[in-house]
Structure 1
Amino acid sequence: MDGYKGDGQGVDLAVNVEVEAMLQALYGAITEERGRWVAQHGSHRLTSAFQPIYSFPHRRPVGYEALVRVEDERGRPIPPVAAFEGVGNFDEQVWLDRLCRLLHVHNFVSQRQTDCWLFLNIHPAVFVHAAMQVRMLARAVEVVHDLGLPTHRLVFEVTEDVMARDDSFEDAVEAARATGCLLALDDFGVGHSNFDRIWRIRPEVVKLDRSLLKRTRGSRKMARVLAQMVALLHECGALVLLEGIETPEDAQMAMDADVDLVQGFAFGHPAPQLRDEQGVSPELEGVWSLFNDRQAQLRRDHLDRLTPFRTAIALALQPLQQGRPLAEACAVFLKLAGAQMCVLLDEDGREIGPRAVPADTPLDLDPRFLPMERAGDARWARRPYFRRAVEAVGEVQVTRPYLSLHGARMCVTVSVAYWQDGRLRVLCGDLDWDET
């Protein structure tokens, strides 16, 4: 046993020596120049730039993403990807990744920012490799703490698609999380993006790929999809960051989608210095002002569009209670442009009698959706338009836009519950809600 213990101690000593040698070599590659830290890698000179990450509710930066800037031997800027593409092997990749992170941490802490996250990009393969090197990881945590940056202010960004290729990723996540740092999954929404993996990994932050924002511009349908994606990520327990915000209009789309954090040229370009802001950011204040104006206009437009349908559904109650046929009672509703149909439901949400449709409804319905047109003994009790109506009898209810099962069209339902002969009834009217 004693001999075995001695061998173990010898291995530990060798590992510790290797870790310290690596750390010493890294520090030998960085120097301080006029208050800023720079690194040398071959013929390339590396510096740090930081792009602010804002919180909509707080209206100020809550974090900064560190980005490397590269110059050649003549001081000319070159794309950072060029420096990384020139890496000869994996060991050199690990070295360069660690060098960049050490450089960024020094440039961040030297600016004495005490209440913001530092987002650090890390190559996926390096993340898995580094997280499983227990001694090196522990020493790195020690160095960061000594510099005055607690690990709970570190956010490691890893591209999301690595989870589809590497089974050891989850183990690496647990090892990294044990240090107290946060994990951000980058570029979510493209490639192999999968909500199941989000449930398993439980990242603290999910960064949506900027391509989602591009697809949302000019499309109300995609705006709704983006909002639903954000809502589901919130259900997974993650903060949602949307990057690539370039204009006030982009910021409005992000706010409408209920994202938590935003990043992009609309709020700040990457720069060596952190933003010295006291109080509310003027860029964010402008976004909130535009949001207030836009919401007021949307409410007015929404009200103008729905008021005739709300009035018409309310007018149908008296003739229905007098025993008039559904089509006759809902004649005013069915004549409005965009009306789809009216239907009467019992207290269990079952349809009573035939539906009433506008006179100009085409007879040749899309045959692809005919199975959904035959209602039979369908029950609609779980639908919001039914539940809300029975909870507030006599008050007209309006749903959010949703996909109707009748022809797979976007619609809004206006509904109202009433009593007739001691039985509860719910009158529903659907109207088209076109989206592009």
Structure 2
Amino acid sequence: MSFSVLQDYLARLSGAAGNTSSIWLDHEGRAQGRFFNCTLSSAFHPIRALQDGGVQAYEGLARSAAAQDQGLSLWRLLDHAASDDESVELDRLCRLLHALNFFRQAADGGPDLYLNVHDRLLSAVSSNHGHAFRRILDALELPLARVVLQLPAATPQQGWLLNYVADNYRRNGFRLAINVAAPAEALQILERLQPAAFKLDAGVATDEDQLLALFARCRAAGVALVFKRIETAATLERLRALAADAGGAVLGQGYLLDQPGAQLAELNAVGAVAA
């Protein structure tokens, strides 16, 4: 790790007891936090180039703190129990934990960090929400350019809200990844939202003509395509073939390729099934 201000901050956290601080380090050096009497930490799910398997980014995921990387995903449980204001607090806590746990392991110039903005935050977010998180990154001297905020899929009625939130984060210097339900939706909002990436469920990648049109538009605009939930070898091979036809880089993420873990994956850890 080469981020000196972050190292100093983590050194101070290492002396904080869990019952006196909202964030502390466990015996393995992982940042943990408390919400609704639950102890949370981070897991990271790699996002890989489908052509060669190289890690391009990681998505930060909130997990209950547990030994041997066996923590549970508690976001839905906690989010449903929280008010809008408490959801904002939970979102900020998770982002900070993920940033600490990612950059304490990451080197300069490495993969990006994708951080979720959950759907309730679309309506609960305030006008300075992006600024608040940017101030944290600036204070720790962490590279804003390597943080991608991942916005949820929006209904047509939420289009104006998605525009507002995207503009808020973009004005604060963040790159955005937009979840979309289908290639047609991505084509409709490409110019309006100017994302760094689109994320699509691998299961909807069935209309080859529409996908190739999206590949071409995204390649021209410098927008990455990430197919999530890749769970079968057949799906992986189909996406690789489409990427080869499109002539551009296509990214993928799924349990076929990797399991989320507290430690950042090795660059060559995809394994034989994905080779």
1:371 matched to which residue of 2? none
Matches within 5 A, 1:118-137: 118-127=113-122, 130=125, 132-133=127-128, 137=130
2:112 matched to which residue of 1? 117
1:262 matched to which residue of 2? 252
Percent identical among aligned pairs is 24
2:54 matched to which residue of 1? 60
Cα deviation for residue 168 of structure 1 reads 4.3
Matches within 5 A, 1:83-98: 83-87=78-82, 89-98=83-92
What does the per-residue CA deviation read over 1:14-40, in whole Å, with 9 as the maximum and x for residues that have no partner? xxxxxxxxxxxxx94211112011111
Paired residue secondary structure (1:160): coil
1:253 matched to which residue of 2? 238
Given candidates 280, 283, 286, the residue that maps to 2:270 is 283
Paired residue secondary structure (1:207): strand
Paired residue secondary structure (2:131): helix
Cα deviation for residue 173 of structure 1 reads 1.9
Contact 1:233 1:240 in 2 (8 A): yes
1:205 matched to which residue of 2? 197
2:96 matched to which residue of 1? 102
Cα deviation for residue 84 of structure 1 reads 1.1
2:212 matched to which residue of 1? 227
What does the per-residue CA deviation read over 1:174-225, in whole Å, with 9 as the maximum and x for residues that have no partner? 33123322100114318x9363222211111000123314xx4xxxxx4454
CA distance in 2, matches of 1:45, 1:256: 43
Long gaps (5+) in structure 2: 1-19, 244-248
Equivalent AA in structure 2 for residue 69 of structure 1: R
Taking structure 1 as the reference length, the TM-score comes to: 0.50
Taking structure 2 as the reference length, the TM-score comes to: 0.77
Contact 1:59 1:285 in 2 (8 A): no
Runs (4+) off by over 6 Å: none
Contact 1:188 1:206 in 2 (8 A): no
2:25 matched to which residue of 1? 32
CA distance in 1, matches of 2:94, 2:270: 30
Long gaps (5+) in structure 1: 1-26, 217-221, 289-436
2:40 matched to which residue of 1? 46
CA distance in 1, matches of 2:144, 2:71: 34
Cα deviation for residue 46 of structure 1 reads 1.1
CA distance in 1, matches of 2:71, 2:132: 35
RCO comparison, higher one (Cα < 8 Å, 6+): 2
Computed over aligned residues only, the root mean square deviation of the Cα atoms, in angstroms, reads: 3.0
1:178 and 1:125, CA in 2 relative to 1: closer, same or farther beyond 3 A? same
1:76 and 1:195, CA in 2 relative to 1: closer, same or farther beyond 3 A? closer
CA distance in 2, matches of 1:98, 1:144: 12
Contact 1:131 1:173 in 2 (8 A): no
The answer as to 2:169 corresponding to 1:176 is yes
Matches within 5 A, 1:36-435: 36-57=30-51, 59-70=53-64, 77=72, 79-87=74-82, 89-114=83-108, 115-127=110-122, 130=125, 132-133=127-128, 137-161=130-154, 164-189=157-182, 193=185, 195-213=187-205, 216=206, 222-235=207-220, 237-258=222-243, 260-277=250-267, 281=268, 283=270
Question: Aligned pair count?
Answer: 246
Q: Which moved more, 1:143-152 or 1:34-43?
A: 143-152
CA distance in 2, matches of 1:232, 1:256: 18
Paired residue secondary structure (1:167): helix
